[in-house]
């Protein structure tokens, strides 16, 4: 009996040892798997940052060409008809309304995302080159410019989906926005530097063609960027009922807030009224020397805008930490429960973003009024201050749009619906400003933009940060 009992005990110990060994192996496997997943996510994040850098670098290079130099080329060198140009611009900028449709497509079908981005980047480069080389033929110019803007929309919507999906918190989201804005502005240095060394005679068309071709070559890294972009495995999606529940609980006024924020964002982009004729006005009023100085100072303006985004991110981080402390210290007073905690946090986020936007918009409007009564030196100083304020303002506008969009089922689609306010501003304000610049002084456009910026505060004040529930 003693031997039998001993054998049973040994058998039991051996079995327990085996089970412990299996459990230990399983634990090590899970731990190693988690570490591998974290390492994989870090590698993907680093690779994507390189991809984002090259992508926004190329887009910003082309953007500066189109915003600063193409207007001078068309209006002062080729002397195109402003009425015809304004008419074409109306149709060209309509392609920017494709954002919500593309957002819905990227929400639903993401298997061929990389192929779409690579194709769009190639179209983006080719269409830019053909548009600027056919500036004298406004029909062909408009066609290829429309293709260029459409390719931009494909690229930006695809990347914005990646940013929204991988922004797990307010801090991460603001960090992504600031990092991408900084990388995009790096590309803005290129046109100003190339212009100084390429165009010695501002009225020489051959030098302008060489200038545009160099811009095309400097944007070739966009193809590399789309190859580098990688996706991480997403968490299992929530059920439809859960998404609807979250949408309802996180503020019954979400739809109203979307409409009001859309109106505010539309009006704040009213500076498009003077955007296209601005560089031409600089050349006309302050001469070739003044335009060259403005072109060189544009690098400084870009740096100041980057500084504004960094300042905005730090302000946001401080406010987020303040909100966490308030909620921790006043949990009982705020009556925080599991079923309303998200709603309270959501209200804090909206209130915080609104406050920062209101302050920056007020300062921006005052400075815009002052532009109408400035000499060249004071104008450049005002432009520098505006760039800093605009960096803070745009970070909070974009972050607020993402916060509200994340309450819906189709967040990329909702975000693109809000972003369409920018497209609408281009369709309305750019052609209107181009047309009006032939009849009225641009100083009157500055004053008009100042008033419209003040009006953008009204929808913000009407936004509700609490649920009706």
Does residue 94 lie within any of the structural domains? yes
33 lies in some domain: no
Model pLDDT, residue 240: 35
Q: Domain for residue 24, yes or no?
A: no
Q: According to the model, what pLDDT value does residue 47 have?
A: 61
Which of 200-209, 215-224, 244-253, 382-391 has the largest mean confidence? 382-391
Quick check: 338 pLDDT over 70?
no
pLDDT of residue 22: 45
pTM: 0.65
Q: What is the CATH number of the domain that holds 196?
A: 1.20.1250.20
In this predicted model, which residue has the larger pLDDT, 254 or 305?
A: 305
pLDDT, position 243? 40
Identity of the highest mean pLDDT range in 33-37, 40-44, 299-303, 385-389: 385-389
* 325: Cβ contacts below 8 Å, ≥ 6 apart: none
Does 207 map to a domain?
A: yes
* Closest by Cα among 172, 190, 174 to 59: 190
Listed in sequence order, the residues at least 6 apart from 416 whose beta carbon sits closer than 8 Å to its beta carbon are 99, 100, 102, 103, 104, 157, 160
Q: What is the 3-state secondary structure (H, E, C) of 4-59?
A: HHHHHHHHHHHHHHHHHHHHHHHHHHHHHHHHHHHHHHHHHHHHHHHHHHHHHHHH
Per DSSP, the residues of 217-229 read HHTTHHHHHHHH-
Task: Say if residues 268 and 393 touch (Cβ distance below 8 Å).
Answer: yes
* Residue 417 reports pLDDT greater than 70: yes
Give the model's confidence band at 10: pLDDT under 50 very low, under 70 low, under 90 confident, else very high: very low
Most confident option among 121-125, 230-234, 381-385: 381-385
Tell me if 1 is assigned to some domain.
no
Region 236-254: what's the mean pLDDT?
A: 43
30, part of any domain: no
Give the model's pLDDT for residue 230.
Answer: 61
Q: How far is CA 353 from the centre of its chain?
A: 16
Q: Is residue 2 part of a domain?
A: no
Q: Does 15 map to a domain?
A: no
Q: How far apart are CA 62 and CA 128, in angstroms?
A: 8
Residue with tokens 């990688």: 230
Residue 47's domain comprises 42-228+239-462
Lowest mean pLDDT among 51-65, 311-325, 375-389: 311-325
Q: Provide DSSP, 271-299.
A: GHHHHHHHHHHHHHHHHHHHHHHHHHHHH
Based on the structure, what is the number of domains in the chain?
Answer: 1
State the average pLDDT for the chain.
76
Distance CA 69, CA 130 (A): 16
> Taking 80 as the threshold, does the pLDDT of residue 357 lie above it?
yes
Nearest to 362, CA basis, from 280, 252, 456: 456
């Amino acid at each position: 009996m003693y031997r039998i009992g001993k054998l049973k005990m040994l058998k039991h110990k051996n079995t327990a040892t085996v089970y412990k060994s299996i459990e230990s192996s399983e634990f090590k496997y899970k731990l190693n798997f988690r570490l591998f997943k974290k390492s994989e996510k870090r590698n993907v994040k680093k690779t994507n940052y390189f991809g984002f850098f090259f992508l926004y670098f190329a887009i910003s290079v082309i953007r500066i060409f189109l915003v600063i130099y193409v207007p001078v080329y068309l209006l002062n060198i080729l002397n195109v008809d402003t009425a015809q140009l304004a008419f074409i611009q109306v149709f060209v900028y309509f392609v920017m309304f494709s954002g919500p449709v593309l957002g819905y497509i990227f929400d639903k079908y993401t298997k061929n995302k990389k192929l779409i981005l690579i194709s769009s980047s190639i179209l983006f480069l080719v269409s830019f080159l053909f548009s600027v080389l056919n500036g004298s033929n406004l029909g062909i110019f408009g066609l290829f410019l429309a293709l260029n803007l459409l390719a931009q929309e494909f690229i930006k919507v695809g990347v914005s989906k990646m940013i929204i999906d991988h922004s797990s918190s307010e801090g991460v989201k603001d960090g992504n926005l600031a990092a991408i804005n900084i990388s995009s502005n790096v590309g803005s240095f290129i046109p100003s530097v190339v212009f100084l060394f390429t165009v010695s005679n501002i009225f020489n068309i051959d030098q302008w063609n060489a200038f545009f071709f160099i811009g095309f070559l400097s944007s070739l890294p966009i193809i590399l960027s789309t190859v580098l972009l990688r996706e991480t495995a997403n968490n299992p999606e929530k059920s439809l009922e859960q998404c609807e529940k979250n949408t309802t609980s996180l503020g019954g006024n979400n739809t109203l807030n979307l409409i009001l924020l859309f109106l505010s964002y539309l009006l704040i982009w009213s500076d498009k009224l003077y955007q296209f004729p601005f560089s031409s006005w600089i050349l006309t009023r302050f001469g070739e020397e003044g335009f060259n100085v403005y072109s060189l100072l544009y690098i400084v303006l870009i740096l100041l805008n980057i500084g504004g985004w960094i300042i905005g991110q730090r302000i946001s981080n401080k406010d987020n930490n303040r909100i966490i402390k308030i909620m921790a210290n006043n949990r009982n007073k705020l009556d925080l429960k599991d079923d309303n905690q998200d709603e309270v946090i959501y209200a804090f986020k909206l209130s915080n973003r609104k406050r920062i936007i209101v302050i920056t918009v007020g300062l921006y409007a005052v400075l815009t009024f002052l532009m109408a009564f400035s000499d060249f030196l004071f104008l450049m100083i005002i432009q520098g201050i505006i760039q800093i304020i605009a960096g803070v303002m745009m970070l909070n506008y974009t972050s607020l749009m993402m916060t509200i969009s994340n309450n819906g089922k189709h967040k990329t689609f909702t975000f693109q619906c809000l972003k369409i306010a920018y497209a609408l501003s281009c369709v309305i304000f750019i052609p209107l400003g181009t047309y009006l610049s032939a009849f009225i002084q641009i100083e009157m456009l500055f004053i008009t933009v100042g008033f419209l910026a003040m009006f953008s505060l009204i929808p913000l004040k009407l936004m509700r940060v609490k649920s009706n529930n």
